[in-house]
Amino acid sequence: MKIICSKSNLLQGVNIVSKAVPSRTTMAILECILIDASTNEIKLTANDMELGIETKIEGEIAERGVIALDAKIFSEIVRKLPDNEVTIETDDNFKTIITCEKARFNIIGKSGEDFSYLPYIDRNISIELSQFTLKEVIRQTIFSISDSDSNKLMTGELFEIKENHLKVVSLDGHRISIRNIELKDSYEDHKIVVPGKTLQEVSKILPGDVNEYVNMFFTDNHIVFEFGSTTVVSRLIEGDYFKIEQMLSPDYETKIKINKRELLDCIDRATLLVKEGDKKPIIMTVTDDNIELKINSFIGSMNENIDITKEGKDIMIGFNPKFFIDALRVIDDEEVTLYMVNPKAPCFIRDEEEKFIYLILPVNFNAATN
């Protein structure tokens, strides 16, 4: 094999597929990036058997072939090459020469035949979404997946399609994030649970262009994301996702409209007094046109008042400040509306069209006041 391409094209491709190289594996071949120049295209692939990424790069194929190169070494070499034309040559013994200007590296590759190519996925069921929308949806929900494998379903996000609507849901047992998106076309009803790791990596490599699209294809076991020259294939998480509908009651006793930036900044300031690992809640005391936010910790205390518009009853309620910060940071509206029932019931942050819904469970009230 012999290919010639620019360093920038090669580096971009390597950076994209590296997201699917496993950090630990017993299969050495999976620690490689596959360079496939066996057809008229140069394709780079990485695959950890749960997540696989393939991307095409522009370049010249002087001699067709396939080689698998250790991802860590190869990516570091490419990153530190001069910004010029790169030539990669291999022989029958997998000896690989990488040259750029006066730099010349000799490394030993592995047979491409041993590499686990991306599985073929039937492309019958699909939806189309703008790159910008998908990137935003992931940003606005990914923070509330669970990082514990004790319940696998909580480490993923529900993608539920009904006609021309897509609902994306994540939860970790303490909060729920929901985004509702209107699609251009109508589709058959479908529910899948996509691993959070996959969505995080897709978000990192998605350009996020408003005018460019992502095609998503589903089967019972896999999801495929296709955008630009890149294809991402991931296994799905098996099982029935949690029934959250009964938790999403429209009832409330207290409704608050508040400036989002003021509320976010206030809670952020309050967390200065909370060491990592401390479970000190922020106490919200709501009266007619005012909300007082207060926190007590081993370091000290802080309280602050913010003007609000209130409907309904006064309330005193406590929350994990991080959960509020996470939700407020991804809301783009200037003003947010909070709905509360009582000190032991969830608080909802939602817009009128319910494009987004964030449910946050309160902390035990007695523990909050200690």
Is pTM beyond 0.75 here? yes
Long-range contacts at 244-251 (CB < 8 A, ≥ 24 apart): 244/169, 244/171, 244/176, 244/178, 247/176, 247/346, 247/359, 248/178, 248/348, 248/357, 248/359, 249/341, 251/341
Q: Does domain 125-244 have CATH number 3.40.630.10?
A: no
Q: In the prediction, which pLDDT does 367 show?
A: 47
Q: In the prediction, which pLDDT does 136 show?
A: 97
The answer to whether 21 and 89 have CB atoms below 8 angstroms apart is no
The structural architecture, per CATH, of the domain 2-114 is: Roll (3.10)
In a 3-state reduction of DSSP, which class is residue 139? helix
Tens of pLDDT, residue by residue over 211-263, are 999 999 999 899 999 999 999 999 999 999 999 998 898 899 999 999 999 99
Q: In the prediction, which pLDDT does 368 show?
A: 42
Residues of the chain with pLDDT under 70: 365-370
Q: In the prediction, which pLDDT does 365 show?
A: 57
Q: In the prediction, which pLDDT does 279 show?
A: 81
Q: In the prediction, which pLDDT does 331 show?
A: 97
Q: In the prediction, which pLDDT does 42 show?
A: 98
- Residue range(s) in the chain whose domain bears CATH number 3.10.150.10: 2-114, 125-244, 249-369
What are the CA-CA distances from residue 36 to residues 27, 57, 69, 171 (Å)?
20, 11, 11, 39
Q: In the prediction, which pLDDT does 364 show?
A: 81
Question: Distance between CA atoms of 348 and 337, rounded to whole angstroms?
Answer: 8
Q: Does domain 249-369 have CATH number 3.10.150.10?
A: yes
Q: In the prediction, which pLDDT does 242 show?
A: 94
Q: In the prediction, which pLDDT does 32 show?
A: 97
Q: In the prediction, which pLDDT does 366 show?
A: 64
